[in-house]
């Protein structure tokens, strides 16, 4: 019986591992993610402060404040997710700790039984009598081995108890560390909530002021709408022209391929004495809308959905999102944004979101606008004070294509208007960008 217990114990021994490594890694990862979001919030706060300096641009101030509120809400959501993750880690740690304590209790019980047995049979004379009272030499050898193994078993039991105690100590320390991380997160969340509430209060005050000045702001809104309509009409026309050029390139490529196949079939017919030449497997020209290179580029672009870099360098706030939206503070006023508006710091550069070729560079109201083709996808960069590329240039991902205009009359407000199209179809850029 004792021998069987010894074998079971030996087979169940396992080496202690650094118990806190997993939790430490988890906490470091969460801290890294929050750190990146904190940095983004800190940078956008400076943009917001610059916008607030000019009290005359209340619509712009509202847009920047709304963007900052969205950033802070995103950060609080990240904190909530981290708290839930840490809570699950605590549940797992408690489960492991209970298992270790139960295991320790069982091992102590077994050890006590073995000690009691030794106490009852403690004298060396009794052990020798047990060995030499054997009927034959084989039995004597087995009894000697039994006594030796039992002594080893008892020693291992004691070592295992000490090992389990150390594991429990480490697990408790790990749990305490995770608890501290959770408490820190909860405190941080409360601080962020307080800042968010203050910003939302500020926003309500600003909206109330806008409502009082509705008439004066109405003309500003109408001006923005006219400029947007003018810009979008020009973009639509240029994209239609680019699509037609792409179609012609594809059709020409199809013609060349058909001619090559026809020539090959003719050669095969002349070389063969029997058999019939196959008919050229040409397809209708209108089936070709993209060249082979454009199709490959389109595929790569789609594969990077959600991973594309922001089209602006440095810190930023998204101040206006894609689609129709009502202007806060103004009754019955709706704007339709064909892309997104991204506010950065003065000196910020517009940069290509992916490899491609510049389809067009044009000026409108003294500002530059750039269209870049990525297969059948087209990215649009508007409101540039200068353009460092020209039509036909090949660009790479994150390459600077021009400096974004900073409005000196509006405290250097720097806003990039960015659009994304799939041929003529207008797309919401945000799901494509890595924020």
Confidence band of 342 (pLDDT split at 50, 70, 90): very high
Confidence band of 405 (pLDDT split at 50, 70, 90): very high
**pLDDT score, position 253:** 75
Cβ–Cβ < 8 Å for 316, 343 = yes
Q: Find, among 260, 256, 251, the residue nearest to 288 by Cα.
A: 251
Whether the predicted pLDDT of 224 surpasses 90: no
CATH of domain 217-259+290-432: 2.70.70.10
Of 94-108, 152-166, 254-268, 334-348, the range with the highest mean pLDDT is: 334-348
Q: Find, among 267, 265, 349, the residue nearest to 313 by Cα.
A: 349
Q: CA–CA distance from 114 to each of 153, 155, 161, 407, 423 (Å)?
A: 9, 10, 13, 86, 82
* Dihedral of alpha carbons 294, 295, 300, 301, sign: positive
Of 165-169, 176-180, 301-305, least confident by mean pLDDT is 165-169
- Taken as a whole, the chain contains a residue count of 435
DSSP H helices in 213-326: 214-271, 292-303
Which residues are registered as beta bridge partners of 418? 340, 381
Whether the predicted pLDDT of 176 surpasses 70: yes
Instruction: Report the chain's mean pLDDT, rounded to a whole number.
Output: 75
Of 15-24, 129-138, 187-196, 327-336, least confident by mean pLDDT is 15-24
pTM of the shown model: 0.57
**pLDDT, tens only, 191-205:** 888 888 888 888 877
How large is the angle between the packed helices 214-271 and 137-212, nearest 10 degrees? 120
Of 279-283, 338-342, 400-404, least confident by mean pLDDT is 279-283
**pLDDT, tens only, 62-71:** 777 787 788 8
Higher-scoring residue by pLDDT: 134, 223:
223
**pLDDT, tens only, 133-172:** 656 666 665 656 665 665 666 666 667 767 766 776 777 7
Nearest-angstrom CA–CA distance, 401 and 388: 5
- What residue spans define the domains of the chain? 2-212, 217-259+290-432
**pLDDT score, position 16:** 36
Tell how far CA 352 is from the center of its chain. 20
DSSP-derived secondary structure letter, 429:
S
């Amino acid at each position: 019986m004792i021998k069987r217990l010894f074998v079971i114990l030996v087979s169940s021994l396992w080496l202690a591992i650094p118990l806190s490594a997993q939790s430490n890694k988890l906490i470091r990862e969460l801290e890294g993610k929050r750190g990146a979001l904190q940095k983004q919030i800190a940078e956008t706060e400076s943009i917001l402060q610059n916008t607030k300096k000019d009290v005359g641009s209340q619509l712009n101030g509202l847009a920047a404040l709304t963007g900052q509120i969205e950033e802070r809400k995103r950060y609080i959501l990240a904190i909530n997710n981290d708290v839930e993750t840490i809570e699950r880690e605590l549940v797992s740690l408690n489960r492991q700790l209970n298992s270790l304590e139960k295991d320790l209790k069982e091992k102590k019980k077994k050890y006590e039984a073995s000690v009691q047995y030794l106490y009852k049979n403690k004298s060396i004379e009794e052990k020798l009598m047990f060995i030499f009272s054997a009927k034959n030499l084989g039995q004597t050898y087995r009894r000697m081995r039994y006594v030796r193994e039992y002594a080893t078993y008892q020693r291992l039991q004691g070592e295992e108890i000490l090992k389990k105690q150390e594991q429990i100590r480490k697990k408790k320390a790990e749990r305490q560390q995770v608890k501290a991380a959770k408490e820190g997160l909860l405190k941080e969340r409360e601080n962020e909530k307080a800042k968010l509430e203050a910003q939302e209060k500020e926003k309500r005050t600003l909206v109330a002021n806008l409502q009082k000045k509705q008439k004066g702001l109405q003309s500003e809104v109408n001006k923005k709408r006219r400029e947007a309509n003018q810009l979008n009409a020009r973009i639509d026309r240029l994209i239609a022209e680019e699509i037609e050029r792409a179609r012609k390139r594809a059709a020409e490529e199809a013609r060349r391929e058909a001619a090559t196949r026809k020539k090959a079939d003719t050669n095969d017919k002349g070389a063969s004495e029997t058999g019939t030449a196959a008919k050229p497997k040409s397809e209708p020209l209108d089936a070709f809308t993209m060249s082979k290179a454009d199709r490959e580029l389109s595929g790569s672009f789609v594969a990077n959905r959600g991973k594309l870099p922001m089209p602006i360098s440095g810190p930023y706030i998204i101040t206006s999102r894609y689609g129709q939206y009502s202007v806060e503070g103004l009754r019955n006023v709706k704007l339709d944004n064909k892309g997104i508006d991204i506010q950065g710091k003065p000196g910020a550069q517009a940069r290509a979101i992916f490899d491609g070729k510049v389809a067009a560079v044009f000026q409108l109201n003294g500002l530059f606008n750039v269209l870049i083709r990525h297969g059948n996808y087209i990215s649009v960069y508007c409101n540039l004070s200068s353009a460092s590329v020209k039509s036909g240039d090949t660009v790479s991902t994150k390459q600077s294509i021009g400096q974004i205009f900073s409005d000196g009359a509006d405290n250097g407000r720097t806003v990039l208007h960015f659009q994304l199209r799939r041929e003529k179809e207008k797309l919401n850029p945000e799901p494509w960008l890595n924020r």
